[in-house]
């Protein structure tokens, strides 16, 4: 059954061994269990294959159990030939240089439908943001392009990160950008990814002093503080900010840092015992570990 789902809809894409045998991740297993429940409850598999674990929980838990009631249909009609992640990125870049925000938005939505939110974040949006950053540094793209694209992506992520029926017991993550870091897109990306993985996300936005981040973390009982460090790669104040943040946070809170320029502050990050992530995928798996209590 599972293999047929994989063949027909790409429900999961497990790692393979040398001999081509499948290795399912913990998440795959969870997701498949939930999908089984959902299909047993009558949801057509084609409509829900790409939903993430929290989405599925939301679909199953709340009030749908009204008995033998007729079942809800989800999702949109699929029309055009589906594009893969790379094609979507290329199309998105074209929309960016053309300053066509409506087209960019459409592309992102298409990806959400065909790839699922999680894959969209990891395989399309994260690389796209990076590409835009690179092209901007090379001078191929103007500042406007970068800003406009950021605005569209920011909006999309805000929509993607909407908390759906969230358990009160979900672990809390605070996402922000330290003072002086003005690019918020990385933090928004992280927030969306975490939300997708079932964290309760407190999103604070860009350029917050250490005291403020710490205060938010305490007030919300956060287990993780995620920082995105992208643009000024040589801010002399940032190391102090990071150290101060560590002092203000309880020891039980883990700091995770990522972003294009995070490497540049390696020493300060080491002092704050921060988990340095090179990519969104890294971050994603780090979150999984942290949730299980492994610090």
CB of 147 to a second copy, least distance (A): 5
CB of 262 to a second copy, least distance (A): 21
Residues in 27-46 that interact with DNA by CB under 7 A: 39, 44-46
22-23 vs 15-16, strand pairing mode: antiparallel
Size of the site for DNA (CB under 7 A): 17
SS3 14: coil
Q: How far apart are CA 167 and CA 274, in angstroms?
A: 27
Using the CB atoms, write b or e for 71-87: b if 16+ within 10 Å: eeeeeeeeeeeebebee
8 A C-beta contact, residue 274 and residue 267:
no
Helix H or strand E segment including 290: helix 280-291
Q: Which does 273 bind (CB under 5 to 8 A by kind): a second copy, DNA, none?
A: none
Q: How far apart are CA 177 and CA 291, in angstroms?
A: 22
CB of 226 to a second copy, least distance (A): 14
Q: Which does 147 bind (CB under 5 to 8 A by kind): DNA, a second copy, none?
A: a second copy
Structure tokens at 45: 């598999």
Choose between 70 and 236: whose C-beta lies nearer to DNA: 70
Verify binding: residue 17, DNA, rule CB under 7 A: yes
Q: Which does 159 bind (CB under 5 to 8 A by kind): DNA, a second copy, none?
A: a second copy
Q: Which does 7 bind (CB under 5 to 8 A by kind): DNA, a second copy, none?
A: DNA
Q: How far apart are CA 213 and CA 181, in angstroms?
A: 13
Choose between 21 and 292: whose C-beta lies nearer to a second copy: 21
Residues at the contact surface with a second copy, assessed by CB under 8 A: 15-18, 21, 23, 76-79, 99, 101-102, 105, 142-144, 147-148, 150-152, 154-156, 158-159, 162-163, 176, 182, 202-209, 212-213, 215-216, 219-220
State the burial class of residue 294 (Cβ atoms within 10 Å of its Cβ: 0-12, 13-18, 19+). exposed
Q: Which does 101 bind (CB under 5 to 8 A by kind): DNA, a second copy, none?
A: a second copy
Residues in 45-64 that interact with DNA by CB under 7 A: 45-47
SS3 22: strand
- Residues in the site for DNA, rule: CB under 7 A? 1, 3-5, 7-8, 17-22, 39, 44-47
């Amino acid at each position: 059954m599972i293999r047929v789902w994989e063949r027909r809809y790409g429900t999961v894409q497990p790692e393979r061994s040398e001999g081509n045998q499948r290795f399912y991740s913990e998440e795959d297993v969870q997701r498949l269990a939930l999908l089984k429940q959902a299909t047993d409850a009558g949801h057509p598999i084609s409509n829900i294959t790409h939903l993430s674990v929290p989405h599925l929980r939301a679909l199953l838990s709340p009030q749908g159990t009204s008995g033998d009631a007729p079942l809800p249909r989800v999702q949109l009609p699929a029309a055009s030939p589906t594009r893969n992640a790379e094609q979507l990125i290329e199309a998105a870049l074209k929309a960016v240089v053309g300053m066509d925000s409506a087209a960019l938005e459409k592309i992102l939505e298409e990806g959400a439908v065909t790839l699922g939110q999680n894959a969209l974040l990891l395989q399309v949006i994260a690389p796209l943001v990076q590409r835009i950053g690179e092209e901007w540094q090379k001078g191929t793209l103007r500042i406007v392009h970068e800003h406009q694209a950021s605005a569209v992506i920011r909006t999309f992520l805000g929509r993607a990160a909407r908390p759906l029926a969230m358990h009160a017991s979900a672990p809390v993550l605070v996402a922000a950008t330290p003072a002086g870091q003005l690019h918020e897109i990385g933090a928004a990306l992280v927030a969306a990814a975490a939300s997708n993985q079932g964290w309760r996300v407190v999103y604070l936005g860009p350029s917050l002093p250490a005291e403020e981040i710490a205060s938010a973390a305490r007030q919300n009982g956060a287990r993780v503080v995620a920082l995105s460090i992208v643009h000024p790669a040589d801010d002399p104040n940032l190391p102090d900010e990071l150290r101060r943040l560590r002092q203000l946070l309880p020891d039980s809170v883990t700091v995770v840092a990522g972003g294009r320029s995070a490497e540049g502050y390696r020493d300060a990050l080491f002092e704050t015992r921060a988990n340095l992530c090179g990519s969104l995928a890294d971050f994603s798996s780090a979150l999984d570990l942290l949730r299980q209590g492994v610090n």
